[in-house]
Amino acid sequence: KCSSYLTWIWQKIFSQKIGQMKPGDMWTLKVDYNLQSNDLEPGWKQFLQRHAFARFQCSQCWHAWHSAQVNVLFHMHLDRKQRRGQVKMKLFRQECKKCLVPKLELPEFSQENVERVLENLMLKLRGKCYREAINPKELSKIIVEAQIMGPHDSSHCEACRLGICYVKYEDQAPASTFFRPASLFPHSFPAREERSEVETGSGRDWGSSCDWTQASCPQPQPSPGLF
């Protein structure tokens, strides 16, 4: 149910944006966790969004953390004669470092950052599938909504294990991001105390500038003793 809800949010925003950009063509977006970077079917193109910002929460102990090293992989294809296009998407996961036997957890994006990632995808679709001249400087910057306190924990990152995080690709969004101080915006996480970390740091939870519940899955309410 959680995964289905997350997929629905991405599909809804994708449909809105592609309908505005190419109203005469039919496009679909689906999640495919078997997707492999640079392993493309004939006629398919790739776009890798690197350095996206997201929140994670362990489904076993409810420990939460942030990461500004989240990767989103897209494969895309347009049938020009049928005017139908397909996009396959993979969200790379991370593990909780608190658990002895951790599970890979899906990232939870704020709606604003979902829109920015998909705006970058729209730009790549125009260039790769419609052969339009695009300006790479138009790529949207990803908002870092919490202060980064420590280095990226590569040992618990799915993308790092696959050699994606720090590998340079020809087609990727720029690493540029900008920080929006949480103190300037209302706190929008669930109204409960939660010990949260940003990457491997032990800092406090700095909150969020966006409504995360719109682009992520509702989480069970843990008891204080779980932290």
What is the per-residue DSSP string for 37-76?
TT---TT-EEEEEEEEEEEEE-TTT--EEEEEEEEEEEEE
The pLDDT value recorded for residue 107 is 94
Instruction: Look at residue 103 and tell me if it is in a domain.
Output: yes
The pLDDT value recorded for residue 7 is 85
The pLDDT value recorded for residue 153 is 75
Instruction: Look at residue 48 and tell me if it is in a domain.
Output: yes
Range of the domain at 22: 2-218
Low-confidence stretches of the chain (pLDDT < 70) are 1-2, 147-150, 166-227
Residues ≥6 apart with Cβ < 8 Å to 155? 97
Residues 130 and 22 sit within 8 Å (Cβ to Cβ)? yes
Q: Which two tokens stand for residue 67?
A: 């990461």
Entry field: residues in the chain: 227
The pLDDT value recorded for residue 56 is 93
Cα separation, 112 vs 104, in Å, equals: 24
Instruction: Look at residue 225 and tell me if it is in a domain.
Output: no
pLDDT 10s digits, 172-196:
444 444 444 433 333 333 322 233 3
Instruction: Look at residue 224 and tell me if it is in a domain.
Output: no
β-partners of residue 57 are: 64
Instruction: Look at residue 223 and tell me if it is in a domain.
Output: no
The pLDDT value recorded for residue 2 is 61
Instruction: Look at residue 6 and tell me if it is in a domain.
Output: yes
Tell me the average pLDDT of the chain: 76
Number of domains the chain contains = 1
